[in-house]
Amino acid sequence: MMRLGILSSHEGSLLQLVMDCCASKKIPATIDLVISNNSHSRAYKRATATGATTLHLSSKTHGDPDLLDKAMLDALVDHGVSQVLLAGFMRKIGPRTLAHFRGRIINTHPSLLPRFGGKGFYGRRVHEAVLASGVKETGASVHQVTDEYDKGSVIAQVHVPVYALDTVENIENRVKSAERDLLVNTLIELSKTDIFLHS
């Protein structure tokens, strides 16, 4: 069974979704560790409330980035994690962790990568750029995480239309709904294969 380590920074809505789907067995996986760089975040509180094993790791706990990276890697390995999910995690992953879990760290992004991705493109900023561009279609992507923002291989995507009278909020809500389904379906598929578990 896939053993998930989830990293989350803020609200934790995707974290909650995955926790619920794992609890109901919709996603055949266990959540073995939840790490947040913000111990006061709703994500951290959500995970703690379920009884999940949680850990706060940030520049406050480890001032040296290399030591922070090592602490994260050690925690994930010690808890037997086989797949890492970034669920609204707003920090770069260190080189030690990236190397050990190469091909086994995934993230969601609210656009059809490579469009509207990269440094500075997150949350509502993405949808503002989509609307300003005049494109007729946007979507969401699940991709592997590398040392560059949103540059890893795309694993799955879902397409979402952009309508003539759309607002940023309309687009955001439509993409969020599609992104949730995409993530759940992708995790179900990943649980069926060893390619991301033992690469």
* Domain chopping of the chain, boundaries: 2-110+140-157+178-191
CA dist list (Å): 158 to 8, 11, 30, 171, 174: 22, 23, 25, 14, 11
List the CATH code of the domain at 2-110+140-157+178-191.
Answer: 3.40.50.170
So what's the pLDDT on residue 192?
87
What token pair was written down for 192? 């069926």
**Closest Cα partner for 138 from 118, 164, 158?**
158
So what's the pLDDT on residue 198?
45
CA dist list (Å): 33 to 3, 52, 63, 79: 9, 7, 22, 7
Task: Tell me whether residue 109 is one of the annotated catalytic residues.
Answer: yes
Confidence of residue 179 (pLDDT cuts 50, 70, 90): very high
Confidence of residue 193 (pLDDT cuts 50, 70, 90): confident
Out of 40, 79, 109, 159, pick the active-site residue.
109
pTM comes to: 0.93
So what's the pLDDT on residue 42?
95
Q: Is the pLDDT of residue 53 over 60?
A: yes
